[in-house]
Chains A and B, each alone.
Chain A
Amino acid sequence: MNYSKQYRPLSYWGRINAVWYRHARVYNSDFLSNAFPPFLEPLIFLAGLGIGFGAYIQTMGTVNYLLFLASGIVVTSSMYTASFECTYGTFIRLEFDLIYDGMLGAPLSPSDLILGEVLFAASKGWLFALAVLIVTWLLGIITTPWSFLASFIGFICGLMFATLSLWITSVVKNINHFNFYFTGLLSPMFFFSGAVFPLENLPAAMRYVAEVIPLTHVVRMARAFCIPGGIGWYLLSDLGYCLIFILVTGVMALRGLKKRMID
């Protein structure tokens, strides 16, 4: 039986876009309280660490300390925003508010919901990285025009932590378990990713651990675009790591969450 165009589901991208649009609409519906923190956070960070430590440390290696710090925290807020969105946010939509149940009554599949969610979290990652960059541009800390490209590293960072977080969400039964993820995984990652101090002088064992941490690779890429002369072919291995990481955790997240969405 053939039905008119009216009863055909949207195309693949149309469906993912519609899911993305839902999240964006919710985000925009409280624009003021959602728009300030991404700008405020880097300011607090740069003021706290920059003014405090900055009085003692002028350069980190060959780079001015403020520039080192600012270029390091471009993507850390992307990590946190994508992680919050895809842990607490997703869990509440899945288990408490039954938003996904409602959406699955429309012509959308579970993987549409998951991919839309990942893309939205990555978009937030881009936006948060851009906010940090705007603040550092205005303060005159980051000056190279290439630094605009670092915002897209925020997008990649958002993808990585969205897929990782969704995978974790797919196995979590109790919302409080996310505490382990944030304090046990993300906090140490923040410090041992090279965001606030360089990895070169760490003990060898810890340097290897740092190379396994996903955040290290996006911090390195983002910094390369923010520091004059930082761009080089060596970044391709970081990009490769990110792509593989996104693919593997993404497949795990898809498999786990589909099971929770379809009885």
Chain B
Amino acid sequence: MDDWAIKISHLNKSYGSVMAVNDLSFDVHRAECFGLLGPNGAGKSTAMKIIYGKALPNPSRETTIDILGYNPLTDPLTIKAFSGIVPQEDNLDSELNVTDNLLIYARFYGIKGAAAGRKIEELLHFMELEDKAKVKIRHLSGGMKRRLTIARALINDPLLLILDEPTTGLDPQVRHLIWNKLRDLKSRGVTVLLSTHYMEEAFQICDRIIIMDEGCKLLGGPPQQLLKDNLEEHVMEIYSPDCLRLDNTVWGKWPGLRHESFQDTTFVYSNNTQELVQLADSLPLTSYHVRQSNLEDLFLKVTGRGLNELQ
């Protein structure tokens, strides 16, 4: 038994003339939490859908997809039998209450009767939804729906959990609760593949990530490592509506500093905070602050700060 849960290489998927996934390759270890990062329209959801057979890749001899030994093109049902899927849009059964949603889903895996009852009780407890057992779906908040969708994905004790933007649109409490649960699952040996555009989420729970844009992989590795390898340690944000003053005559005096502007803010990067403070002192600035650079800076550096047409 090898150590890989997911092995994907040279994966392509186009919708019409748009390449949603472009020569994507990545591997996920067993019991690892792996993150796909990228702006909206980067191809994260499409890549995940291909893994469980909801989307079909472009046919190619070069493409290999191996999900715990199975190929979604030939064995989608087996892959889904050992996986749990949390899709981006809530697609709970709005005609049924909370318990019935889980009961019906349990049946799709052949879990019935007392075994289903025990499992549902356990999952409602795990996702802290016990007091909502008989509530109709439309009376649940967004956070509760999301927790129930995760509970639903856990009904078969999956080996692989696939979550497409699990915490988008949720408040910080629910987000932290979900992160805790995912860490808990990982410690029990579940492989977690998630997509997100929250950098903090990736930093908090992912062992390794890849950053994607326009269907391509741009960078990959452990989040800390990526930061160290690709970005200066500190960044100074200068907010000035008239950025024009910071022209080349200024930057010429500070050859060691990398800078970029986005809308009304200029970002200056350096490994040396002293240098940043000296720059700030030399300029007639009213509003700036120096902080540690983070994954968000890296994300914006590699995907570009402007918006693309899909966002």
Contact = CB atoms under 8 A, between A and B. Distances in A.
B92 A109 contact: no
Contact of A9 (B55, B69, B81, B107): B81
B291 interface: no
Contacts of B92: 102
B100 interface: yes
B87 A1 contact: no
Contacts of B54: 101, 104-105, 262-263
A18 B107 contact: yes
A263 B55 contact: yes
A29 B98 CA distance: 13
B80 interface: yes
A109 B100 contact: no
Contact of B91 (A97, A262, A263): A97
A107 B155 CA distance: 12
A3 interface: yes
Interface in A1-42: 1, 3, 6-10, 14-15, 18, 21-22, 25-26, 29
A107 to B, nearest CB: 4
A25 B100 contact: yes
A98 B91 contact: yes
Contacts of A102: 87, 91-93, 152
Contacts of A109: 76-77
A104 B1 CA distance: 28
A205 interface: no
B89 interface: yes
B301 to A, nearest CB: 31
A108 interface: yes
Contacts of B96: 25-26, 29
Interface string A62-106: 000000000000000000000000000000000001110111111
Nearest to A97: B94
A101 B89 contact: yes
B108 A99 contact: no
Contacts of B152: 102
Given A6-B157, A105-B87, A26 B78 contact: no
Given A18-B108, A98-B89, A106 B46 contact: no
B109 A107 contact: yes
Name A's interface SS: loop
Contacts of B1: 1
Given A1-B69, A105-B153, A107-B81, A262 B104 contact: no
B109 A25 contact: no
B93 A106 contact: no
Contacts of B56: 262-263
A101 B87 contact: yes
A105 B161 CA distance: 11
Contacts of A263: 15, 46, 49, 54-56
Nearest to B88: A101
Contact of B104 (A3, A15, A21, A101): A21
A22 B15 CA distance: 32
A253 B96 CA distance: 27
B26 interface: no
A108 B68 contact: no
A167 B131 CA distance: 42
A4 B81 CA distance: 11
Interface string A236-250: 000000000000000
A105 B85 CA distance: 6
Given A6-B156, A263-B56, A106 B80 contact: yes
Nearest to B68: A1
Contacts of B269: none
Which A-B residue pairs are the 7 nearest by beta carbons?
Answer: A105-B85, A1-B69, A106-B108, A102-B91, A98-B91, A263-B55, A9-B77
21 contacts: A1-B69, A3-B159, A6-B156, A7-B159, A9-B78, A9-B80, A9-B81, A15-B108, A21-B107, A22-B107, A26-B93, A98-B91, A99-B91, A103-B108, A105-B52, A105-B80, A107-B77, A107-B108, A263-B15, A263-B54, A263-B56
